[in-house]
Amino acid sequence: MSELNLSLAISPCPNDTFLFETLVGEVRAAGGRVQFLDIAQLNALHDAPTRPDVVKVSCASAPLFHSHYRLLRCAGAFAHAVGPLVLSRPEPSGAGVGLPGQGTTAHILWRMWCRTCGIDPQPEEFERFDRIPTRLAAGDWRRAVVIHESRFTYRDAGLVEEADLGVAWNDSTGLPVPLGCVLVRRDLGDDMARRIANILVESATIAMAREEPSTRFVREHAAEMSQAIQALHIRTYANKRSLDCGKEGLEALLRLWEEARSIQPWPVDATSLHRWVGDSIGA
């Protein structure tokens, strides 16, 4: 496959559109298909009847894709001591927690924080990420975990921060926070995987050099979000580890998957996951 007539699935969040704008353009120009989906929908594609050629998923769900995909070291989201936030109302009430997807990185980090703080994590309810602040403000839960732009706009709903799960992860592991990663179908072959990685890294390098990170393409997919919030979102999650997550990023993946086994047993053994990480592809 010489042209990029591929199927691509990413989220519409600013850090994804910022990193993938060039690849989206080339895929569309070649007649390929691009989907913009919520993270829970992206994670569910591991057993879809027709799997996308390239997909951005939650790091915590990546092992579900092991049988059919290769791991790229670029265009992921690996933050430094920044992650999902645990929120509550100023006068907490209700019970349980709202979470943005079962088996996501946010879910794993939430469980780790609860264990450290001696908090009973149950009951858990899963909701689309952009609906969580409104439901928490309405008293549907005692706490909620928010991701994406809700991390920057929760005060608008009158909510308060209890903890940054990225800080908690960093305090516990000393590793970058593994939030999202990019996978490429194995049957595309190594050459195509490296070509995709090269496009992503070259595009990211150019984008990071821009004075204004947001573009018309980013703004079109960023829902109702100010340009200042878009820029903050991008600068928080698109960083040097977006070019290559590095050894520490790979170590963070393995640590996260070890933690996740208690929540979501993998259909693959730990040795195979170590081998998968070691066989990851960079630009």
Separation CA 114–CA 117 (nearest Å): 5
What DSSP designation does 118 have?
A: T
- Note if 107 is an active site residue: no
Separation CA 34–CA 55 (nearest Å): 10
One-letter amino acid at 178 equals P
Choosing from 46, 148, 221, 233, which is the catalytic residue?
148
Q: DSSP for 7-74?
A: EEEE--SHHHHHHHHHHHHHHHHTT-EEEE--HHHHHGGGG-SS--SEEEEEGGGGGGGTTTEEEEEE
Rama region for 227: left / alpha / beta (φ>0; ψ in -120 to 50; rest):
alpha
Separation CA 237–CA 79 (nearest Å): 6
Report CA 275 to chain centroid distance, whole Å: 22
| Residues that are catalytic | 148
